[in-house]
């Protein structure tokens, strides 16, 4: 929402509607097909925040950003949040609050690790996402979001080319994994020599 007057020489358009109304948001998307920056600073209720990100994050252009602020309402009952006695990783908190939803999107940013595979498959996404929220929306996170920045009161989703995991590569001897769950000591000389060859100068001196 922007405040303006008839004499203001700005390209400002004011749209008034309900952010939990899918039809209204569809009209916004149709009217503004190219959105680079979207900031959700609306009524701050759980229903509004969670509904809006589901509908508008996919609409933000590649290389654009989606932001939602006033995340503290996830702990305020009058906004639909859960009071302080509910821990942030409880199933109820994850399912019914915006911060809980943000936690889940952070997991899905690492979608390749969720299933224990190098690259997660579409059936994997559908199965797990159906159990949690909405499969069609969840696919946006591993396929379109490059970074998630989490600050005091605000989360920023940065869209762009996503990281494509590849098989692990080593620059020296492999480090054997012991049954005890610890690694053998690492010879850093191997790594430093490799860096020397890349940067063309000695890093060991």
The predicted-structure confidence for 156-201, as pLDDT tens digits, reads as follows 999 987 766 554 444 444 444 444 444 445 566 666 676 777 666 6
> For residue 204, what are its two tokens?
């060991």
Higher-confidence residue of 115 and 60: namely 60
The length of the chain, given as a count of residues: 205
Q: What is the mean pLDDT of residues 7-13?
A: 67
Q: What is the pTM of this model?
A: 0.68
User: Cα-flanking dihedrals φ and ψ of residue 136, to 5°?
Assistant: -65, -35
Positive or negative, the CA dihedral 151, 152, 154, 155 is positive
Domains of the chain plus CATH, in order, are: 22-159 (3.40.50.150), 168-205 (no CATH)
Residue 46 to residue 73: CA distance in whole angstroms: 8
pLDDT confidence of 120, banded at 50, 70, 90? very low
Residue 22 to residue 143: CA distance in whole angstroms: 23
Q: pLDDT value at position 196?
A: 72
Q: What is the mean pLDDT of residues 26-52?
A: 93
Residue 34 has pLDDT above 70, yes or no: yes
Residue 63 to residue 59: CA distance in whole angstroms: 12
Q: pLDDT value at position 175?
A: 44
Residue 97 to residue 120: CA distance in whole angstroms: 26
Neighbouring C-alpha atoms within 13 Å toward the C-beta of 95: 7
Contact status, residue 148 vs residue 106, Cβ threshold 8 Å: yes
């Amino acid at each position: 929402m922007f405040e303006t007057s008839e004499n203001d020489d700005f390209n400002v358009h004011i749209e008034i509607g309900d952010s939990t109304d899918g039809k209204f948001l569809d009209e916004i998307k149709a009217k503004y097909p190219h959105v680079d920056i979207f900031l959700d600073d609306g009524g701050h209720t759980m229903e509004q925040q969670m509904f809006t990100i589901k509908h508008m994050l996919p609409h933000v252009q590649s290389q654009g950003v989606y932001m939602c602020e006033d995340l503290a309402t996830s702990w305020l009952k009058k906004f639909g949040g859960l009071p302080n006695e509910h821990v942030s990783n409880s199933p109820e908190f994850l399912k019914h609050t915006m911060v809980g939803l943000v936690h889940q999107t952070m997991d899905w940013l690492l979608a390749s690790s969720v299933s224990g595979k190098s690259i997660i498959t579409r059936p994997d996404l559908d199965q797990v996402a159906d159990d949690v929220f909405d499969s069609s929306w969840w696919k946006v996170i591993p396929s379109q979001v490059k970074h998630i920045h989490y600050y005091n009161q605000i989360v920023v989703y940065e869209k762009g080319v996503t990281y494509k995991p590849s098989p692990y590569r080593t620059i020296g001897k492999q480090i054997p994994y012991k049954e005890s769950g610890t690694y053998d000591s690492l010879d850093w000389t191997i790594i430093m020599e490799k860096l020397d060859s890349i940067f063309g100068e000695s890093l060991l001196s």
